[in-house]
Amino acid sequence: MINKQNNLYRIFFLVLAIALYACMPATKSESDNNSELLQKENELLKKENEILKKENDSKASASTQSDKASLSFLTELNGKYPHNIKLLDNEVLKPRLQKLLGSQYDYMVSIWEVETPIEIENGLLYTSAMQAHSGGDPGAVLMADMTKNVLYVAIRQDGNAKVYSEDGSAAPQRLQDWAN
């Protein structure tokens, strides 16, 4: 659809350039006419580029908004177990967690065995899990700030915990306490 629009813009500008050329007075020399025509074509190309840039900007904005789909649906999950509702496979959470954690996403899923029920308090979701019989190492915590639409994760492995934040902000205190 966008390619059709781009082609229509190009055709429109080409027809306009031809019309302008045809309407030029015959008294000017051909080099003057060519110079004016080139100048008008350049102006039309600049306008076409501006239109294309606006289209690309709106596409990028829409893509960013879909990447950051609202976490408000999480408010319904209080008291449920992540495994029972397939939380880590949720169509909104999974891509965001994969982007946030990179290769650590698969690791987190692999150790997500013994889990706590989801707790929601003051717009914050909290749940954690660990590998069975591990005593908490390895383990992971998932938090979501539903008012800020931000995910936080901490993963403990070999005694060291790493904290991840979607927007680079400090993780909620409860997650930091777990990581320490």
Q: Which of 67, 84, 100 is the last residue of a domain?
A: 67
Residue 5 has pLDDT above 80, yes or no: no
Q: Which of 33, 48, 67 is the last residue of a domain?
A: 67
For residues 154 and 164, the answer to whether their CB atoms sit within 8 Å is: yes
Q: Which of 20, 44, 67 is the last residue of a domain?
A: 67
Residue 148 and residue 153: Cα distance in Å, rounded? 15
- In the structure, what pLDDT confidence band is assigned to residue 36 with cuts at 50, 70 and 90? confident
The residue ranking higher by pLDDT, 161 or 48, is 161
Number of domains present in the structure of the chain: 2
Most confident of 5-14, 25-34, 36-45: 36-45
The residue ranking higher by pLDDT, 51 or 139, is 139
Same domain, 61 and 140: no
Same domain, 46 and 94: no
Predicted local confidence at residue 70, as pLDDT: 92
Q: Which domain holds residue 79?
A: 72-179
Same domain, 128 and 160: yes
Same domain, 98 and 141: yes
Predicted local confidence at residue 162, as pLDDT: 96
Same domain, 96 and 127: yes
Predicted local confidence at residue 37, as pLDDT: 78
Predicted local confidence at residue 109, as pLDDT: 96
Same domain, 124 and 35: no
Residue 29 and residue 65: Cα distance in Å, rounded? 54
For residues 47 and 16, the answer to whether their CB atoms sit within 8 Å is: no
The residue ranking higher by pLDDT, 37 or 161, is 161
* Burial group, residue 119, by CB count within 10 angstroms (0-12, 13-18, 19+): middle
SS3 102: coil
Q: What percent of the chain has pLDDT over 90?
A: 60
Same domain, 53 and 77: no
Same domain, 87 and 171: yes
Give the contacts of 87 (CB within 8 A, at least 6 positions apart).
77, 93, 118, 127, 142
For residues 146 and 152, the answer to whether their CB atoms sit within 8 Å is: no
Same domain, 83 and 40: no
Same domain, 58 and 89: no
Same domain, 60 and 86: no
